[in-house]
A and B are shown apart, each in its own frame.
Chain A
Amino acid sequence: MAVFQIWLVRTLASAHPVAAAMRTRWGWPTAETIHFIGLSLLVGCVGTFDLRLLGVGKRIPIAALHKLIPWGVFGWVLNLLSGLTFLMTEPDQYIYNPSFHFKLLFMGIAGANALTFYATLYRRVTAVDASPPPRWAKVIAATSLSMWIGVIVCGRLLTFYRPAPCGDDGPGFLAECIPSTKRVR
C-alpha cells in the first residue's frame, strides 16, 4: 500500500500547471470556496432525500423529491474536481493523512450504500403506486446521513492530522507519515 501511495503522490504531483494555478494568491481560497458550495449542494439534496426516507415530509412523493438528486451529484462532481486540485498541489498532505484515509473510507461506504439503495429500493419507492418505504429504508437513509457527516468532519480535521516525515521504522502497510522515497524504493 505504501508503495502505491508513493506512486500516487508522484503522479498527482506531476500536474504542474494545476499546482501553479493553485499557488497563486487566490487559487487555493477559490477552490476551497467551490468545495464548500459543492458540499452544501450535495448535503442539501442528498440530505433532504434521506430525511424524506426517515419520515420527514411524508406527503412529498419520493419520486418527485428524487429529481433533486442530479443537483446533489453535480455538487459531488464539483467537490471531486476541486478536491483533486488540492491533491495535485499538496499530494503528500492528503495521501499520507489518516484523516483523509477515513474521509475516503466514509465516501466509499456512502457510495456502496447509495448503490444498495438503487439496486434494492429505488424502483419500489419511486413507483407510481408506491407504498410507504419499508422500515429498513431508514437504515439506508441514516447510513447516508452519518457517512456524509463523517466525510465533512474528516475533511475539516485534515489540517489537524498533517503527516510528519516517517521515523526510522519507515511507513507501515498504510503510510501515515511522509516516507523518504529513497529508502522505500
Chain B
Amino acid sequence: MLAWLESTAFSVWIRESPSMLAFPGILSLHTIGMGIVAGINGVIALRILGAAPDVPLGEMRRFLPMMWLGFWVNAASGAALLIGYPTKALTNPVFYVKLGCIAAALVLVVAIRRRVLTAGGLASAKRLAVASLVCWTGAITAGRLLAYTYRHLLSR
C-alpha cells in the first residue's frame, strides 16, 4: 500500500522534482498556513486571556474565515507532503501526536466560536484559550520534530 503510493507519479514528483514548486513550494505553503492558523488562533486566545481588552471579543470572529483559509491550505499541502513521504510520517508516532493536537485544537476552535465569541463571555473561556494555545504549540512542536524522529524514510 505505502509502496504503491510512493510509486505514483504525484508522489514521485513531490519527492524528486527539481522544481521549487514541488517539495520546497509545498513546504513553504505549509509554513505560511501554519503562521495563519496558529497565529490567528493564538491571537484569539491571547484576547480571551486579557491581552488587548478593548477589542470587542465577538468581533474576533471576523478573523476566523482567514484562519479557515489557512487551515485548508495546510490540510491540502499537508496531504501533498504525506503523499510524497507516506512511510516517513505514518511510521512515526510523533505524526499521530501532531494529528491529535490538531484534532483537539479544532474542537476547541468550534467551542470557542460558539460559546465565547458568539454567546459572549463564559466562566471556562480562559481554560479553553489556554488549551488552544497548548494544542497549537504542541502541533507545531510535533510537526517540527517529524524531521528528526522518523525511522523509515521510504517503504523500501
Contact = CB atoms under 8 A, between A and B. Distances in A.
Contacts of A65: 52, 55
Contacts of B143: 36
Given A63-B54, A156-B31, A68 B63 contact: no
A33 B28 CA distance: 16
Contact of A45 (B39, B41, B60, B145): B39
Contacts of A43: 35-36, 39
Contacts of B38: 37, 40, 44
Interface string A46-67: 0110010000110111011111
Nearest to A35: B144
Contacts of A48: 39-40, 43, 63
B54 A68 contact: no
A149 interface: yes
Contacts of A68: 43, 46-47, 51-52, 55
Residue from B42, B66, B137, B143 with most neighbouring chain A CB atoms (10 Å):
B42
Main DSSP-derived SS at the B contact region: helix
B55 A33 contact: no
A57 B62 CA distance: 5
Interface size class of A (residues with CB under 8 A): 35 or more
Given A41-B39, A153-B32, A56 B54 contact: no
Contacts of B32: 149, 152-153
Contacts of B9: none
B54 A61 contact: yes
B35 A39 contact: yes
A40 B47 CA distance: 15
Interface of A: 29, 32-33, 36-37, 39-45, 47-48, 51, 56-57, 59-61, 63-68, 71, 148-149, 152-153, 155-157, 160
28 contacts: A33-B140, A36-B34, A36-B143, A37-B141, A39-B35, A40-B35, A40-B39, A40-B140, A42-B35, A44-B41, A44-B43, A47-B35, A47-B36, A47-B39, A48-B40, A48-B63, A57-B63, A60-B59, A60-B60, A61-B54, A64-B52, A65-B55, A71-B43, A71-B51, A152-B32, A156-B28, A156-B31, A160-B20
Given A60-B56, A60-B60, A157-B24, 11 more contacts: A29-B145, A29-B148, A32-B144, A33-B141, A33-B145, A40-B34, A44-B35, A44-B43, A48-B63, A59-B56, A68-B43
